[in-house]
Amino acid sequence: MSDYKPISCAASDQLEAAIVTGKALRLRLKETVAEPSRTLDVDPLDIEVESGAEFLRYRIRASGLETRVRLDRIRDFEVMEGHTA
């Protein structure tokens, strides 16, 4: 994926820490042509690499649906203290 832009090491470290500790995240995803920006409360499951791009695999807390998002499509995120998977 030639248009992939890696996220900062600090943000990547925070995502990894949330995965390891089982902390829930509030993701704010960037708007795209196909869909508007949105906010999701998720349980982060893993970081995956495919074709040179990194993805966060997660479970949406409201529906239980598992999916993934390319890391550079995340506008920002916060750890939801007190909420664990």
pLDDT tens series, the chain, 85 aa:
469 999 999 999 999 999 999 999 999 999 877 778 899 999 999 999 999 999 999 999 999 999 999 999 999 999 998 777 6
Contact between 67 and 42 under an 8 Å Cβ cutoff? The reply is no
Please report where in the chains the tokens 């203290």 appear, as a residue.
Answer: 81
CB-facing half-sphere around the CA of 13: CA atoms within 13 A: 3
Q: What is the pLDDT of residue 85?
A: 66
**Total Cβ atoms within 10 A of residue 19:** 19
Which of 10, 69, 12, 9 is CA-nearest to residue 39?
69
Which residues are bridge partners to 66 per DSSP?
A: 59
Q: Which domains does the chain have, with CATH numbers?
A: 9-79 (2.30.30.520)
Q: What is the pLDDT of residue 82?
A: 78
User: Taking the complete model, does pTM exceed 0.85, yes or no?
Assistant: yes
Residue 26: Cβ-neighbour burial (10 angstroms; 0-12, 13-18, 19+)? middle
